[in-house]
Chains A and B, each alone.
Chain A
Amino acid sequence: MPIIHEPQPETKINLSENGPILEVQNLHFSYPDGHKALNGITLQLQEGHKAALVGPNGSGKSTLMLNIIGILHGSGVRKINGMAITEDNLPLIRSQVGIVFQNPDDQLFSPTVFEDVAFGPLHMGCSEDETRQRVIEALAMVNMSEYINRLSYHLSMGEKKRVAIATVLSMKPDLIILDEPSAGLDPRARRSLINLMNELPQTLLVATHDLLLVREILPRTIILDEGLVVADAATEEILKNTHLLENHGLELPV
């Protein structure tokens, strides 16, 4: 008794022949309690860019990410592939931007690995066969193929993180946002995650405190502090500027 999903027409229109994948202009956001989290963020990501989003806790990194994915709605311009984010095109936006949240226990909410990785494609309207295909491909990309029928709870932290990335890869997004991917990992799991991220062909925006990871795989760094972009340049230059780093509560381990 398979459940049949109506095939949906291919709606993915790539408007970004040359334009940026992500464009944010003068984005302001305040939480309902009045706390101002974003005070006019402006940034652009071109296709293929791999950028780090760094800054102290409370600098607005998470709020910015939730705005980009259209879960929070601040005032200002937010465009994905040239499309402004509106209520109507949210489903389309979400098929183009994948976000991997910090805690894999939040990201992996289904009983089995298969169901979790299938969640995105199914809700995008992929057919059953295509969903299965995408799940197999995504798990292969993160080297977790043999875990397909395992229960999410039984995985180690590093395995959970890899599956969490697969849940987004199966949606084949253009832009992947990762929140603290290396937090809570032991050195070996961190190393394999870095290698995995380095192989991803998508445009990446990585919020992290792990500046060694940034130096290794992310050529561009954006520093956020008090809801503002205070620096946006090549990683090499930013990491050389110890004064800048110290001013914004950052520190490059020696």
Chain B
Amino acid sequence: MFKETTFNVYQASQSIIHKLDPRVKILGAVGIILSNVLLPDGAWLAFGISFIALVIMVLLAGIAVSFVLKRSLVALPFVLVAITILFTLPGEPLVSFNIFSWHLTITDAGLLRFTSILVRAWISVQAAIILTATTRFPDIGHGLRHLKIPLVLIAILSFMYRYLFVLSEEATRLIQARAARSASLPDSPKPPVRWQAKNAGNMVGQLFLRSYERSDRVYNAMVARGFQGQFLTLTPHTMVSADWFGLAIILSMLSLIQIIGHFF
């Protein structure tokens, strides 16, 4: 049910994007997300250039474009939160309809804002996907460390990444154990939803308890090896000239996108 690829999108390769220092890639991904946010609504040309820039990155990295597009669909449910903007922003009415007792009107300003948010979110998620597909997770951690992100935050991220696998295995085992005992006779009624919900709730509780106990054991293992509240790690990355060059290209690209977005 959980596959390894559910969490691990890294695609091993030796492309120039893979070889870039993780710092550059992190700055690039965060940079394009920031640039997206700063672009005005309806800056379609700038959005288009951002998208093309990302597609070029994908091609350079040798990842399948379809992989990135498919993955980027995860952004959609979050964008739906913004759907009310369609109806609430004052402007020229485009379409009106009735749902239940509500009378809803989509305005042109609302539509523009909503599609802009949609495109922004979609492009930003693609930037993050390219980052994780071309950078091993430990390297992202090192990059963040070099970028002076607080160590506790990085440690939380690394633990989450490490134990996501363990936790999902545990969840899979619980689900399999339940499935193995969920027998039913041909003419027996389906169990009521209430019962199923209770079961699922119990499982979540089980998972929480197990994780809680595991956290205790992990902490013991850390303390036993001399942990005293300070995270120390070795970070083996050094920026070479190619990395500075890559960073320069990304930054000038982003500036260009901003100029186009604001003045054209």
Contacts and interface: CB of A to CB of B under 8 A. Distances in A.
B76 interface: no
Interface string B198-240: 0000000000000000100110111111111010111101110
Interface in B60-104: none
A3 B218 CA distance: 25
Contacts of B158: 110-111
B218 A123 contact: no
B166 interface: yes
Contacts of A228: none
B165 interface: yes
B161 interface: yes
Interface string A225-242: 000000000000000000
A77 to B, nearest CB: 21
A59 interface: no
Contact of A91 (B138, B214, B226): B226
Nearest to A66: B220
Contacts of B141: 111
A115 B136 CA distance: 14
A115 B234 contact: yes
A132 B234 CA distance: 9
B114 interface: no
A140 interface: no
Interface residues of B, number: 33
A112 to B, nearest CB: 5
Contacts of A5: 232
Nearest to B214: A106
A164 to B, nearest CB: 9
B123 to A, nearest CB: 28
Contact of B225 (A112, A123, A152, A153): A123
B226 A95 contact: yes
B226 A111 contact: no
B159 interface: yes
Contacts of B163: 109
B146 interface: yes
Interface string B10-33: 000000000000000000000000
A97 to B, nearest CB: 8
Contact of B234 (A94, A123, A128): A128
Given A109-B159, A152-B162, A2 B138 contact: no
Contact of B218 (A109, A114, A152): A109
A163 interface: no
B234 A71 contact: no
B137 interface: yes
A131 B137 CA distance: 22
B225 A106 contact: no
Contacts of B230: 123
B238 to A, nearest CB: 7
Given A111-B141, A111-B161, A1 B214 contact: no
A101 B226 contact: no
A123 to B, nearest CB: 4
A106 B235 contact: no
A171 interface: yes
Given A3-B145, A168-B225, 16 more contacts: A1-B238, A71-B224, A91-B228, A98-B225, A99-B221, A99-B224, A108-B162, A109-B159, A109-B218, A111-B161, A122-B232, A122-B234, A123-B225, A123-B227, A131-B234, A151-B137
7 contacts: A3-B234, A94-B226, A95-B226, A106-B218, A109-B163, A119-B222, A120-B226
